[in-house]
Amino acid sequence: MRFLVRLVVNAVALWLTTLIVSGVSVTAFGDGGTTATVLTYLLVAFVFGLVNAIIGTLIRIVAFPIYILTLGLISFVVNAILLLIVAGISDAFGFGLNVESFGWGIVGAFVLAVFAWLIGLFVRPVLNRQRA
């Protein structure tokens, strides 16, 4: 259940990011209708979650001393790299995330993180309710 909620939260955050950041966009597969667009955002959010879990964890472990030296500011660069990796993977399939440059990747990663955090603030109390 938590996995699906995180997937939807990331998909909505990605959608809001593409609305605000002009250098980050998503190309829907198929006819580009509403269903295809929603499925594309969910698929890109799934790929982003996988890349973040596998490659992101490895980068964070290796770059731990750099995180300490920069007081965590290197995370903007790492998240931009992860966003560009997701864009490359989705581009290989012919649809998905498009990032114009590394600069737009940094801006997009920052906005994506802020939106995911804000949406998570509203979703977290719902997930932590006691079951009857």
**pLDDT tens column, 77-119:** 999 999 999 999 988 888 889 999 999 999 999 999 999 999 9
Residues 60-84: tens digit of each pLDDT: 999 999 999 999 899 999 999 999 9
The neighbouring-strand residues paired with 98 are 25
Mean pLDDT value across residues 21-28? 90
Which residue type is seen at 130? Q
Local confidence band at 124 (pLDDT 50, 70, 90 cut-offs): confident
What per-residue confidence (pLDDT) applies to 42? 92
Residues β-bridged to residue 25: 98
Domain layout of the chain by residue ranges: 12-26+37-125
Max CA distance (Å), the chain: 50
- Mean pLDDT over 16-30 rounds to 90
CA distance 122 to 42: 19
What does the pLDDT read at residue 51? Answer: 93
Q: Is it the case that residue 131 has pLDDT exceeding 60? A: no
Q: What average pLDDT does the segment 15-24 reach? A: 93
Question: What is the pLDDT, as a whole number, of residue 96?
Answer: 84
Residues 58, 52: contact at Cβ < 8 Å?
A: no
> In the prediction, which pLDDT does 28 show?
85
Q: What pTM was estimated for this model as a whole?
A: 0.85
**DSSP, residue by residue, 46-63:** HHHHHHIIIIIHHHHHHT
CB 80, CB 109: distance < 8 Å: yes
Q: Is 89 exposed, middle or buried (0-12, 13-18, 19+ CB in 10 A)?
A: middle
The three-state secondary structure class of 13 is helix
